[in-house]
């Protein structure tokens, strides 16, 4: 049990470091860098591979740490709202996936999409609260633009890349993502 815990801690640290560095790579493409949602991918993978217990705190810390180190995203309100968003992704995706009896590609998509919806709702609520503190408003149009329209390239990449990575890890027997059927 201790070996498995240590492995998951190391993997979580690896996903945290990927989450810190990956936006640097995509940031070199200013037109679409933010639209690719690079911090989301390691959060989803950590939730699926390590579980929600490891991924949730990592996902909350990731944008805050990235803001402190690289000053991107800006701490207020961006990184704070994103911390709640990514935390929700990790919890919802990892928790649902751990409870599903037949873990397969369909279950994987269900978990990712459910987490995307929940995370974007939490992000919108966090933006409303954080901007409301300063007397500013967060409109429904801003929510749709930030949560959906500007995020379409990143959503597509996540829906292709995350299952592909999980499938590849399963096929190589490095990290099985399917529960053995009884």
- Domain-wise residue ranges, the chain: 43-171
Distance between CA atoms of residues 101 and 163, nearest Å: 18
Q: Residue 95: what pLDDT?
A: 97
Three-state secondary structure string covering 111-160: HHHHHHHHHHHHHHHHHHHHHHHCCCCCCHHHHHHHHHHCCHHHHHHHHH
Q: How confident is the model at residue 48 (pLDDT cuts 50, 70, 90)?
A: very high
Give the angle 15-109-63 at the CA atoms, nearest 5°: 30
Q: Residue 177: what pLDDT?
A: 66
- Give 72 or 181, the one with higher predicted confidence: 72
Q: Residue 97: what pLDDT?
A: 94
Cα distance between the two ends of the chain: 22
Mean pLDDT of the chain, nearest integer: 89
Instruction: Write down the pTM of the prediction.
Output: 0.91
Residue with tokens 């470091």: 17
Contact 91, 145 (CB under 8 A): no
- Average pLDDT (158-166) is 95
- Average pLDDT (39-55) is 96
Q: Residue 178: what pLDDT?
A: 61
């Amino acid at each position: 049990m201790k070996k498995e815990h240590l492995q998951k801690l190391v993997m979580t640290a690896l996903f945290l470091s990927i989450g810190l560095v990956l936006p640097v790579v995509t940031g070199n493409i200013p037109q679409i860098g933010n639209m690719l949602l690079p911090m989301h991918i390691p959060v989803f993978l950590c939730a699926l591979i390590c579980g929600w217990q490891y991924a949730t705190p990592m996902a909350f810390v990731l944008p805050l740490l990235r803001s402190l180190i690289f000053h991107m995203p800006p701490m207020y309100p961006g990184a704070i709202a994103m911390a709640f968003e990514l935390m929700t992704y990790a919890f919802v995706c990892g928790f649902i996936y751990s409870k599903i009896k037949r873990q397969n590609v369909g279950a994987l998509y269900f978990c990712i999409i459910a987490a995307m919806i929940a995370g974007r709702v939490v992000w919108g609520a966090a933006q409303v609260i954080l901007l409301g503190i300063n007397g500013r408003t967060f409109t429904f149009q801003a929510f749709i633009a930030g949560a959906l329209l500007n995020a379409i390239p990143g959503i597509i990449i996540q829906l292709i890349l995350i299952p592909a990575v999980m499938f590849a890890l399963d096929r190589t027997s490095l990290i099985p993502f399917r529960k053995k059927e009884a």
